[in-house]
Structure 1
Amino acid sequence: MGETLKIAFVYDVIYPWVKGGVEKRIYELAKRLARRHEVHVYGYKHWDGEDILEREGIVYHGTIKPKQIYSSGRRAITPPLLHSIKLLPLLSKERFDVVDCQAAPYFPCYASKASDSSLVITWHEFWGDYWLDYLGKFGLLGKLLEKGLFNLADHHVAASLKTKKDLYNAGIRKDVHIIPNGVDFKKIQEIEPSNDQSDVIFVGRIIKEKNVSLILKALATIKQELPDIRAVIIGDGPERKSLENLSSKLGIQKNVEFLGFLKKHDDVIAYMKSSKVFAFPSLREGFGIVVIEANASGLPVVTVDYEMNASKELVIEGKNGFIAKVDERDFAEKILIALENKRKMKRVSTNIAREYDWDQMVERLEKYYQGIV
């Protein structure tokens, strides 16, 4: 079992106040580790009252209250910078065995050096030259800050094989340990399907990188063959309004329902279980927990072959899904094949997802922590 550890997770946004893949990973790992260890989470103060809050055995430390997390469809730069400044005195006065800081948004990792602890940097993506596409010449700062993390810590974890390869290709000379994201497999099996049935479902933040427009264009193609095709889009974000307009323009507004953000994660799973195919054309994904959740719900996944999309690694062609070109006709064709084969792909999809249960992931992480302390 090993010794009891004092562990801190550092990020900016915190689950369940903000629901995303990285936030969910920290929450699921932290609550399981808290059964045997002392676990703290540092991030924005999303709640009212005292700065320190305890729930489910986890001690939450709030730093700043950001007015907005996104600016012009992108993560705002000022909040993580202010958050990092606030972190410096908080972490310098605490002694942890391990501080596990998520690589992006970079600033908190530099602040985490203030703690006299073993620093672990967890990478969900590596951007490299993509910074220049994202911010133009201002992306140079992003590149410098990102690469500076290579020598900031001796211990590095990647959430996917793709990210590990990207780090090595970029010149990291430290060992990078892979600990994937996971799902609460048993809980997913217990959730009943929704009464609201659909053929195709998407779940995620409605941002440009998720490439939801490809789903809509593919549906317009599929509608020629299946006039009653029905899709649901779960999630919210800056692109939602333009996507709703696009569905009207494509003449598929009666085939697509935008459900927005659902507060209860169980409701998201229930909608997955009442659908047939999970469509996920994301162009930039560090892992893609929703892909495993969809598989655990018995759905084959159709994703895209794109350089920065790590979720394609989770798909075994023809077994638990399909990998399409970034092309509406090919994406539509793969959805149709998945719809035809949904029944026989269900068991394989579920069995693949079983290997990603959070309990297994936390055992691997705990062993890793014990090894570096």
Structure 2
Amino acid sequence: MRIGIFTDSYKPYTSGVVTSISTFKEEMTRLGHEVYIFAPSYPNYNDTEDNVFRFFSVPSPTNPDYTLAVPVYPGLNMIVKKLRMDIIHVQSPFTMGRVGLHYARKYNIPLVITYHSRYDQYVHYVPLAQDLAKEVTIKYSSSFCNHCDHVVVPSQDILEIIREFEVNKPITVIPTGIPLYKFEGANSSWLRENYDIPEQNKILLFVGRLTKEKNLPFLIKAFQKIKMQIPDTTLVLTAQGPMEAELKSLCKNLGLTGSDVIFTGALPFETLVDVYHSADLFVFASLTETQGLVVTEAMAAGLPVVAVRASGVQDMVDDGLDGILTNEDMDEFVAAVCKVLVDKDLYDELKGNAYRKAEMMSSRSMALKMEKLYTKLLEQRIYRSNRFLDIGSWFGN
């Protein structure tokens, strides 16, 4: 198959969406398919991979690390015709999603959307009329989904949510899988070799974006309380984002030093695997996840998880089996972390089950599910086209 991916974010930007696209592209290519990426450009970044088409872009006013594509690409119509794509798979309903929709309609190509994000939960980036912005966002994204042939979601929670938004097209749950082979042979001493972390300290790890929706002030304040009970602990935040300065200021105000809370910035995936293996526990307080891909990545490194119970995340964590889920309650969250750290039998049980959960979520298994969906859509399109031709022949056409 020849698959066109239209996305509003791609490398070098780091996010769960980018990881998802990269993982599926790699696995689909290994399965023998051709994958073409249509994405925004980034300053001073040159692609080292084939089949990537970059649109002229401008910096986002609310996130300087992110660029917004200008949906004009001279000669794109000829490129699309030449590529003869079998499937167009858009990764958001916005700028590049609209481009993908246009060409899917024009050339009668099956159109899939992956509903990666709770877009209505990001309206805090809009300076005014946030309630109205939320309502408009829900109506717009739902309408876009209803113009697609099929909707993919990363969790059952998100399926139920967008059904409430009146999305009436077929929906399939296909989480982003984990490339388990990349988690082999990791350096479990990487964090201590690169940062001043005492040998006896337990390392709590967060991976993600430093943004409001990740609920990081809650996590940092919880860590302060954890450290009061278990002094030999360190919190590592492997991420970058617009809240970095604010969060560092919060740490200072709470009396947490640079050796108590470590900001590593964004790291390439190869190094991130070492970071996961260097930690003892994964902690997560986000309330807006569609899947929480970093949670399953942590499990692939054998990390138990303590997370706030929220959509997406609760699909990935079996409470009491491979992690602990809590309410967004500071004392409850702190108690859960401390219990896992001091109860060795519980820790070992959660760790073993985390490994087993990750094995069920391999990237190849998820890619095979996506391949099956693509094949079904192509068969349906061919059937409808042939049926239309047969009907036309009845009238002498």
- Length-normalised TM-score, structure 1: 0.87
- For structure 2, which runs of at least 5 residues remain unmatched after alignment? 379-397
Q: Which residue number in structure 2 is paired with residue 285 of structure 1? A: 289
Q: Which residue number in structure 1 is paired with residue 348 of structure 2? A: 343
1:22 to 17, 22, 43: 17
**Paired amino acid for 2:16:** G
Distance change >3 Å, CA 273–CA 220, structure 1 → 2? same
1:228 to 232, 254, 258: 232
The superposition leaves residues 50-87 of structure 1 with CA deviations (integer Å, 9 ceiling, x where unpaired) of 9xx672xx410111133x24x335997x924x236779
Distance 2:332 2:45 in 1: 52
Distance 1:149 1:221 in 2: 44
Distance 2:55 2:6 in 1: 11
Distance change >3 Å, CA 101–CA 258, structure 1 → 2? same
Find the residue that maps to 2:169 and give its secondary structure.
coil
CA contact (8 A) 1:132 1:140 kept: no
CA contact (8 A) 1:155 1:176 kept: yes
Distance 2:203 2:256 in 1: 14
1:161 to 151, 156, 162: 156
CA contact (8 A) 2:230 2:338 kept: no
Q: Which residue number in structure 2 is paired with residue 320 of structure 1? A: 322
Q: Which moved more, 1:215-224 or 1:187-196?
A: 187-196
Q: Which residue number in structure 2 is paired with residue 37 of structure 1? A: 33
Deviation at 1:280, TM superposition (A): 0.8
Distance 1:245 1:14 in 2: 30
2:255 to 251, 256, 259: 251
**Paired amino acid for 1:62:** R
Structure that is richer in helix per residue: 2
- For structure 1, which runs of at least 5 residues remain unmatched after alignment? none
Q: Which residue number in structure 1 is paired with residue 392 of structure 2? A: none
Distance 2:45 2:238 in 1: 31
Deviation at 1:354, TM superposition (A): 0.8
Identity over the aligned pairs, expressed in percent? 25
Distance change >3 Å, CA 144–CA 173, structure 1 → 2? closer
Distance 1:215 1:34 in 2: 38
Distance 1:370 1:346 in 2: 37
Distance 1:133 1:242 in 2: 16
Q: Which residue number in structure 1 is paired with residue 62 of structure 2? A: 72
Aligned residues: 355
**Paired amino acid for 2:338:** L
CA contact (8 A) 1:131 1:140 kept: no
Deviation at 1:228, TM superposition (A): 2.4
Distance change >3 Å, CA 132–CA 44, structure 1 → 2? closer
CA contact (8 A) 2:205 2:281 kept: yes
Distance change >3 Å, CA 313–CA 162, structure 1 → 2? same
The superposition leaves residues 7-40 of structure 1 with CA deviations (integer Å, 9 ceiling, x where unpaired) of 111102213x112111111111112212312210
1:365 to 350, 366, 370: 370
Q: Which residue number in structure 1 is paired with residue 55 of structure 2? A: 63
| 2:210 corresponds to 1:206 | yes
1:121 to 113, 116, 136: 113
- Length-normalised TM-score, structure 2: 0.82
Distance 2:256 2:273 in 1: 25
Find the residue that maps to 1:346 and give its secondary structure.
helix
Q: Which residue number in structure 2 is paired with residue 304 of structure 1? A: 308
Q: Which residue number in structure 1 is paired with residue 88 of structure 2? A: 99
The structure with the larger Rg is 2
Find the residue that maps to 2:230 and give its secondary structure.
coil
